[in-house]
Structure 1
């Protein structure tokens, strides 16, 4: 049996990365590392259908989740920047 469940934070993070233009301007491996580090900072929020989140959560809760992700993303970028060689930092800043 294959269940169709997803972590809603993954969906929100991909939206944020797309909105910020990071999916197109950063190397794929860097984005994958960035996403993993970011998602490890927030609790999982599993959903069955995307429409469920719009029905069961209010706008304030949605905005709080986005703020959490933006903060985690900022920390993740700083972490990766501190770990990469100087030449790699120039392309991922």
Structure 2
């Protein structure tokens, strides 16, 4: 049996990377490392459907999640810049 679940932080991260044009700009290997490093710094929030998030989000929670992602993304970029062979 295969369940259709995903981590909402992953969805938001991919949206942010797309909005910033980084999905097309960065090499795939770098992008994969960047995503893994970023997501490993964040909690998980599993969802079945994006509409599920509208019922459970408190006021401002989405903004807080995006801020956490942005901070983790910047930290991951910095790590990869200082450790290019990783």
Fold in common (TM above 0.5): yes
RMSD of aligned alpha carbons: 1.0
Q: How many residues align?
A: 85
TM (normalized to structure 2)?
Answer: 0.94
**Residue equivalent to 2:41:** 41
Q: Which one has a bigger Cα radius of gyration?
A: 1
Whether 1:68 aligns to 2:68 is: yes
Q: Comparing both structures, which one devotes a greater share of its residues to helix? A: 1
Deviation track 1:14-33 (CA, whole Å, cap 9, x = no partner) reads 00000111101110110010
Tell me the CA shift for residue 59 of structure 1. Answer: 4.3
CA distance in 2 between counterparts of 1:30 and 1:16 reads 16
TM-score, scaled to structure 1: 0.87
Runs of 4+, deviation exceeding 6 Å: none
- Aligned counterparts of 2:32 and 2:58: Cα–Cα separation in 1: 29
* Structure 2 gap segments, 5+ residues each: none
Task: Please tell me whether residue 12 in structure 1 is matched to residue 32 in structure 2.
Answer: no
Unaligned runs of 5+ in 1: 86-93
